[in-house]
Structure 1
Amino acid sequence: MRSVSNRTRVGLLAAFTAFSALLSTGSATAATQLNGDWAPFDRCPVDAPAMLAADGINTIATCIASSSATGTITLGKTKVSTGDTDLQLGVIQRPDGTASLVAPPEGALTADPAEIPGGLIGLMCPSGIPLVSGICRQLTDNNLNRVTATIEPAGAPRDFHMSAAFSTGEPILTIPVRIHLKNPFLGDKCYIGTTSDPVLLKPQNVTAPSLSLQRFSADGTPNDDEGEMGRYTFDGADQGDATFAVPGASGCGAGLLDWAVNLKTGLPSAAGKNSVTLDATTTYFGSPYDPVGLAPNEGRKLSEFWHSAKR
């Protein structure tokens, strides 16, 4: 790991812990089970062309995995608890400190859907409007009342600031997202935010993580002296953002219920009235211990190591 400084590696890890719960695409295909210290990287896109092309000198292919078990997101008048989330990305690092991201085929994030408190009753009822009051009278079945919210990507992350990753209170990057609300009455196209008018999250470090280093063999077996792979582990960092605005809902009940959702949830909501908090994230950063020594085939060797760790 000599060709990229520890400071650069730390910065990349801090950047990605910040948005592990903010790009959820819902349940994905089953991840590959990997041995030992490779285990957190079970969805790393090691076979993506950009990763395979890394030469170990001008470009270094690495894996990022970040998870958070709990957190909250507040949009207008509605506060929702988040569950388990898992972010995984490939990262192409360059000597000048810049980096590009590579997502797994099924998407960078998976997460447990979050339930809206009170369900559809909490979102729309009671109401004196016949259309809405008619729905409210049918919500005796919990399955009809239940509303889940999943945060999904609405564009590529941007505005990455390496220096902010080492500090607290400074935005690390901008992440466009939208929130998918699911309920039989709302239909399958009910969103808060869109790809053209997304929620723009700018996560920042609230607390600094603790750092440890593991060295392991190509197949994941711990090997402190001669392991081909290295892994930084960051524990306990809290992240958050309270600066983003939230647009109104769209597509709810084929658009007929947008206004009802907006009215009860207080949307659209201006910047400063919304927030996201992620509790105690754990982030792993893995790359060959000596990428220069694998030149010009560092990316291909990373893929080879990853596949050798399959259980």
Structure 2
Amino acid sequence: MTRLLRTAAAALAATTLLGLTVHTASAAPAAPPKFDFTDCPALPAGADPAQWRCENLVSTGTARFGALAEQPLGTMRLTFAEGRLDGKYAQVFGSLKAEPVEVPGGLFGVPGTERNPLLRLRIQVRYAGFSDFLSVGDRMGTQHLKVGVTSPLVPKSCTIGDDTDPIVFQPLRTAGPDVISTNPPVLRFAMADNAFAVPGPHGCGAFTHLLSRRLGVPAAANTNAMSLVTYVGLRGYP
């Protein structure tokens, strides 16, 4: 991801492009989201702040996996830093925060039961311990993800996938990058992955079998999909 964004950022700064075309957004684009840089990570020892920047990515989109029909995802905010260390490219993960979303049909998949506070079911995309934001062509890096499962009856530890058995998200760029603003610098692109597999439930106790059937997981590769539109805010380190 970062090679692509580095190129776009270079265009914003009127420096040399790295061989990728950066587009100017059409007239009257949707207003970009508000960016939050409070989770920018500390730089590694020996890093020159002038050679580093923090990136805050705000994404919205849809996902489907297993037996779960396509539905909107909560807004996701991903923060990380990238720069040079000992003459080489380096990156530091900051945070991934996503809004939980309600699953229609609730815990048992019965229409309307999501309105019962005890039977509601929410899912939330979470970080699963690994990220590599360096892109190769249109391949926008790799992130390990898991899906938090929240319901009053389900253990708080319940997730679909976990840090040892993650969803391996390797999206392809499908549009952009577009320059939305030069001051402050804001970019936009779209990406999607329909090749990943989804593991089964972890930490769900007595609800493991129920959730496996309810959500149709584990689900094989090429039977799931996630599509995102992402805005990128950039900030240097002082």
Q: CA deviation at 1:239?
A: 1.1
Instruction: Tell me the residue number matched to 2:191.
Output: 239
SS in 1 for 2:130: coil
Could you tell me which runs of 5 or more consecutive residues in structure 1 were left unpaired when the two chains were aligned: 1-5, 14-38, 127-138, 216-230, 288-301, 304-311
Asked if 1:199 is matched to 2:196, the reply is: no
Q: CA deviation at 1:211?
A: 1.6
SS in 2 for 1:264: helix
Q: CA deviation at 1:83?
A: 2.3
Q: Which has the higher helix share?
A: 1
Q: CA deviation at 1:250?
A: 2.3
Could you tell me which runs of 5 or more consecutive residues in structure 2 were left unpaired when the two chains were aligned: 11-33
> What residue identity is the alignment partner of 2:145?
V
Q: Of 88, 91, 102, which residue of structure 2 is paired with 1:115?
A: 102
Are the aligned partners of 1:177 and 1:200 in contact in 2 as well (CA < 8 Å)? yes
* Structure 2: distance between partners of 1:112 and 1:42: 17
Q: Of 68, 83, 87, which residue of structure 2 is paired with 1:78?
A: 68
Asked if 1:284 is matched to 2:220, the reply is: no
The two structures have a TM-score, normalised by structure 1, of 0.60
Q: Which has the higher strand share?
A: 2
Are the aligned partners of 2:124 and 2:149 in contact in 1 as well (CA < 8 Å)? yes
> What residue identity is the alignment partner of 1:285?
L
Asked if 1:163 is matched to 2:150, the reply is: no
* Structure 1: distance between partners of 2:108 and 2:97: 27
Aligned length: 211
Asked if 1:43 is matched to 2:30, the reply is: no
CA pair 12-142 structure 1, distance change in 2 beyond 3 A: farther
Q: 1:248-292: per-residue Cα shift (whole Å, max 9, x none)?
A: 11222xx2221111113221110000110113x2112233xxxxx
Q: CA deviation at 1:213?
A: 5.8
Asked which structure has the greater CA Rg, the reply is 1
Q: CA deviation at 1:110?
A: 2.0
* Structure 1: distance between partners of 2:64 and 2:37: 31
Q: CA deviation at 1:113?
A: 0.7
In the TM superposition, what are the counterparts of 1:38-187 in structure 2 within 5 Å?
40-45=35-40, 48-50=42-44, 53-54=47-48, 56=50, 60-68=51-59, 70-79=60-69, 80-93=71-84, 98-103=89-94, 108-122=95-109, 142-158=116-132, 160-164=133-137, 167=138, 171-187=139-155
CA pair 97-73 structure 1, distance change in 2 beyond 3 A: farther
> What residue identity is the alignment partner of 1:112?
E
CA pair 82-162 structure 1, distance change in 2 beyond 3 A: closer
> What residue identity is the alignment partner of 1:120?
L
Are the aligned partners of 2:127 and 2:145 in contact in 1 as well (CA < 8 Å)? yes
- Percent identity over paired residues: 25
SS in 1 for 2:107: helix
Q: CA deviation at 1:117?
A: 1.6
> What residue identity is the alignment partner of 1:40?
F
